[in-house]
Chain A
Amino acid sequence: MTLKRMVPIIISLIISSSSLAYSEQPIDVLQVPVNRIVKILQDPQFKNNVNRKLQQKQLREVIDGIFNFELIARGTIDRYDWDKFTPQQRTEFTKLFSEFISNVYFNKIQGDYTDVKVAYLGQEIRSDSSARVKTVVLRESGEIPIDYSMKLINGKWWVYNVFVEGPSLLGNYRDEHKRILMKGSYTDLIEQLKKKIEAQKSKK
């Protein structure tokens, strides 16, 4: 084999070995966006609910880069029901549920949580592609333990479930969606989601 031929092989070997050595840790992947969220919440330009829309836009950019809404939406539907959804229904549900859950999150943290600090307690690597990161949100009124379940997809860690003081996001909505789908159909589920989103918008 000539040296010319070997060069690309050597380069690819170096790249792959360096990427292995520098495989990002889930806790590091989470820290940057979470700290960014805290910064946005504490930004003086958004004090007293001024520029809420702009603040939401900034928050959305951050959470879109760390939360995998496709996995989250899918995780709230039982496999039996999910298999019955058509591809269009799956896309529609994912879009609506992502909007709904982001609004829930924004309504909870915007205007509040300006005095927060986040402590990162550690991570538990559960398998090659699954991890749980433990954090505590520190406020004057007390501590709130928040754990994040993360999955490695195509070399990037994504959040797909959040545990707040024990109960989880997926567990909560999975039960609720199952109840709706037992009594009604996909259309009922979508209608209820749309109603909730409307109610969220009117609240703002």
Chain B
Amino acid sequence: MKKSFIDTIVGIFVVIGIVCIGYLTIKLGKMEVIGHKHYNVSARFQSISGLTPGAHIEMAGVKIGAVDSVSFDVERKVAVVNMKIHKGVTLSEDAIASVKTSGLIGDKYIKLSPGSSDVILKDGDTIYETESAIDIEDLVSKYIFSDE
């Protein structure tokens, strides 16, 4: 009787432990159990210089999503960024996505400017208006070699 009681208690703790580990895995790994809180949009950039999956998507300085994956379009030779945007945040077809840096040497993130068109982007659509990351080294070299 006593042994089975102890076994039950141990079992309960083991189950609680497994649930905790599962919760932490999902939270820390930024996975989604029920993935209906977001919708996906993609954008092609000439250069994303250092933007990685998990990077913030911001609008008006507020996080409204995250970069899901980054790939390379072999044919077009451009970077393709897939983004998860919170449902409830609507984007027009003329929304502009720009790769920005927090501070001078901080992390890269994507800034979205909402747009004015009445055509709203749906799950799986593409943002066409994209501004690539500004390369400071390029600017410096342009300044150095410019004759103006």
A residues sitting closer than 8 Å to B (CB atoms) are 74-80, 82, 124, 126-127, 130, 132, 140-142, 149, 160-161, 163, 165-168, 170-171, 174-175
Nearest first, the 7 closest Cβ-Cβ pairs linking A and B are A171-B96, A79-B116, A126-B128, A82-B116, A166-B134, A141-B147, A166-B132
User: Nearest Cβ distance between residue A3 and chain B, in whole angstroms?
Assistant: 45
Name, among A78, A149, A171, the residue most crowded by chain B CB atoms within 10 Å (CB to CB).
Answer: A171
User: Nearest Cβ distance between residue B38 and chain A, in whole angstroms?
Assistant: 21
Selected from A127, A141, A171, the residue in CB contact (under 8 A) with B148 is A141
Cα A32 to Cα B145 with chains together (Å): 32
User: In the assembled complex, which residues on chain B have CB atoms less than 8 Å from the CB atom of A78?
Assistant: 114-116
Is the Cβ of A170 less than 8 Å from the Cβ of B129?
A: yes
Selected from A74, A160, A168, the residue in CB contact (under 8 A) with B131 is A168
Is the Cβ of B117 less than 8 Å from the Cβ of A124?
A: no
Is the Cβ of A74 less than 8 Å from the Cβ of B116?
A: yes
Q: How large is the interface on B (under 10, 10 to 19, 20 to 34, 35 or more residues)?
A: 20 to 34
Known A141-B147, A141-B148: A174·B96 in contact at CB below 8 Å: yes
Is the Cβ of A132 less than 8 Å from the Cβ of B96?
A: no
User: In the assembled complex, which residues on chain B have CB atoms less than 8 Å from the CB atom of A127?
Assistant: 128
Chief secondary structure at chain B's binding surface: loop
For residue B126, CB closer than 8 A to chain A, the reply is yes
Cα A94 to Cα B117 with chains together (Å): 15
Is the Cβ of B114 less than 8 Å from the Cβ of A142?
A: no
User: In the assembled complex, which residues on chain A have CB atoms less than 8 Å from the CB atom of B69?
Assistant: none
Q: Supply 10 further A-B pairs (C-beta < 8 A) apart from A142-B142, A160-B94, A165-B134.
A: A75-B116, A78-B115, A127-B128, A132-B128, A140-B147, A141-B148, A149-B129, A166-B134, A170-B96, A175-B113
User: Nearest Cβ distance between residue B23 and chain A, in whole angstroms?
Assistant: 38
Binary CB contact string for chain B from 79 to 108 against chain A (1 if under 8 A, 0 otherwise): 000000000000010101010000000000
Is the Cβ of A124 less than 8 Å from the Cβ of B146?
A: no
User: Nearest Cβ distance between residue B133 and chain A, in whole angstroms?
Assistant: 8
Some 15 contacts from A to B, beta carbons below 8 A apart, are A75-B116, A78-B115, A79-B114, A80-B114, A124-B76, A126-B128, A127-B128, A130-B128, A142-B145, A142-B146, A166-B133, A170-B129, A171-B96, A171-B98, A171-B129
